[in-house]
Copies of this chain bind each other. A is one copy, B any other.
């Protein structure tokens, strides 16, 4: 694969950063050539740092010397798995320096000019990048993916959009990997439930509305859906479970709802993305599914599994949605966003056909808005 695109990872030593490094191994389009982390790890070989995934550390990544969090020699596309404490400024610095930052951090998600994207749902929000570059004078860009639980809620509601969801109550049972490492103390969660995750409920409520909204010239008109979230932490390693009650204004039959979930697909361009699952939602029919243990790894963790669809006496419809929080809800979400960015850039540049990487400095120089479709 001689013309794979070099990519880097900001925050490569955390839970999401490691997941990204793992998912990038063998990627058909991308090649990890640069890894960055905080001062403590910078200068060390990546392979000497603690690796916490059950899958082995990719040998190619092991040999990379960890860079500090400065643009310098970073490749054009960098993923950000940074903690919110440092992501805000660091990502802007990279965008200003010409890098496309595909970020999992929360800092810029609600910035009016930053697209908050789930490719199957609102890939068209990438149109904001034109305004972003224009208004901010960035030669690069920032693209974000939602909070982990939000992905699963937004995906489910996107599938039900034809029925006009208006009010949604969601309770989440979230896995410990969602809190990073060391994250949740074992003393707090073994045999326990913590009915609170700082900031999580607000993220689910706000981000979902933005994702399902309509992107305009200078921002997104939030979708007119009223959401209420209750977030809990449970003793699960990977996999967030979301229990939803939904009011659908068009009052479809349960069969129609089931069909909409099972047949939900993103726009055609999704089929080109190598990390996209064949169906973003799988609908299961056993009473006791979905379960983290059995369903979290569906389609390598990229599919949201829905089940227990039934009537809700209060809001009309109830169901359970489950997703892999560090894959579809974080690293895989960012990866898919990066793939979408690349597809959009390719399309812009053709015809005449051009090599994606080698010649793109020039393209960017001349266009200054290559990231936004016409």
Nearest-Cβ distance from residue A325 to partner chain B, whole angstroms: 12
CB pair B297 A226 closer than 8 Å? no
Q: Is A194 an interface residue (CB 8 A)?
A: yes
Q: Which residues of B contact A236 (CB under 8 A)?
A: 190-193, 235
Cα A171 to Cα B231 in complex, Å, equals 11
Chain A interface SS verdict (over half): mixed
Q: Is A80 an interface residue (CB 8 A)?
A: no
Number of copies of this chain that the complex holds: 4
Cα A292 to Cα B237 in complex, Å, equals 13
Among residues 187 to 246 in chain A, which have CB atoms less than 8 Å away from a CB atom of chain B?
Answer: 187-196, 198, 205, 226-228, 230, 232, 234-237, 239, 241, 243, 245
Q: Which residues of B contact A183 (CB under 8 A)?
A: 185-187
Nearest-Cβ distance from residue A277 to partner chain B, whole angstroms: 14
> Would A243 and B188 be within 8 Å (CB), given that A235-B234, A314-B228 are in contact?
no
Please, which residue of chain B has its CB at the minimum distance from the CB of A243? B230
Q: Which residues of B contact A239 (CB under 8 A)?
A: 193
Q: Which of B167, B181, B196, B314 contacts A288 (CB 8 A)?
A: B196
Cα A177 to Cα B232 in complex, Å, equals 20
Nearest-Cβ distance from residue A148 to partner chain B, whole angstroms: 15
Cα A196 to Cα B291 in complex, Å, equals 10
Q: Which residues of B contact A312 (CB under 8 A)?
A: 169, 228
Of the listed residues A53, A183, A186, A190, the one surrounded by the most CB atoms of chain B closer than 10 A to its CB is A186
Q: Which of B171, B186, B195, B205 contacts A184 (CB 8 A)?
A: B186
CB pair A54 B245 closer than 8 Å? no
Please, which residue of chain B has its CB at the minimum distance from the CB of A56? B298
> Would A308 and B241 be within 8 Å (CB), given that A54-B297, A169-B315, A187-B15 are in contact?
no
Q: Which of B182, B228, B313 contacts A205 (CB 8 A)?
A: B313
Cα A99 to Cα B187 in complex, Å, equals 33
> Would A173 and B173 be within 8 Å (CB), given that A191-B190, A191-B236, A297-B54 are in contact?
yes
Nearest-Cβ distance from residue A93 to partner chain B, whole angstroms: 30
Q: Which residues of B contact A245 (CB under 8 A)?
A: 169, 228, 230
CB pair A318 B235 closer than 8 Å? no
6 cross-chain CB contacts under 8 A: A54-B296, A171-B243, A186-B188, A190-B190, A193-B234, A227-B314
Report A's interface with B, CB cutoff 8 A.
15, 52-54, 167-169, 171, 173, 176-177, 179, 181-196, 198, 205, 226-228, 230, 232, 234-237, 239, 241, 243, 245, 287-294, 296-297, 307-308, 312-315, 318, 320
Known: A187-B237, A232-B243. 9 other contacts (CB 8 A): A179-B186, A186-B235, A191-B191, A192-B292, A193-B241, A193-B291, A194-B288, A230-B318, A232-B241
Top 7 closest pairs, chain A to chain B, by CB = A182-B185, A171-B171, A192-B293, A176-B186, A196-B288, A184-B186, A228-B314
